[in-house]
Amino acid sequence: MRNHEVAIVVARDGEFLVLLRAPERGGYWHLPAGGVERGESEVGAAARELAEETGLRVPVRDLGLDQGYDKPGGRVKVGMFAAEAPAGWEPELDEEHVDYRWCDEPSALALLRYPEPRVALERAARLLESS
């Protein structure tokens, strides 16, 4: 069982990227995310998952959130990160996803199924406002 994951909030021009997972993977809207591999750092996993799922290769920033959720077999720790996409950039989706949207904060929050990515998106939005 995977017990350590990362999720990445991607911002561009005041909007946030949400991805639609393929039907066989649950068919819900989520952030780019995935597991931390053995021997890999959280920041390394976040950068790798972002590149694999969207094609975006930029630095990722730790949001400093202690997130996680319980599932059968134990607690899953989730590291939360943020990345900024360049103006005009569009994702190249992998096989895990079938669609994407750029949304303002309220619209992105409404699409996201789980509370952990919502908290991460809110934190990232506040950090962008203050920078």
The predicted-structure confidence for 11-52, as pLDDT tens digits, reads as follows 999 999 999 999 999 999 999 999 999 999 999 999 999 999
Rounded to an integer, what distance in angstroms lies between the CA atom of residue 5 and that of residue 126? 23
Domains of the chain from N-terminus onward? 4-130 (3.90.79.10)
Residue 82 CB coordination number (10 Å)? 24
Tokens coding 94: 């992998």
Query: Tokens representing 39?
Result: 């021997």
| Model confidence pLDDT, tens digit, residues 66-113 | 788 888 888 999 999 999 999 999 999 999 999 999 999 999 999 999
Neighbouring residues of 96: CB distance < 8 A, sequence distance ≥ 6: 21, 22, 25, 53
Whole-structure pTM value = 0.93
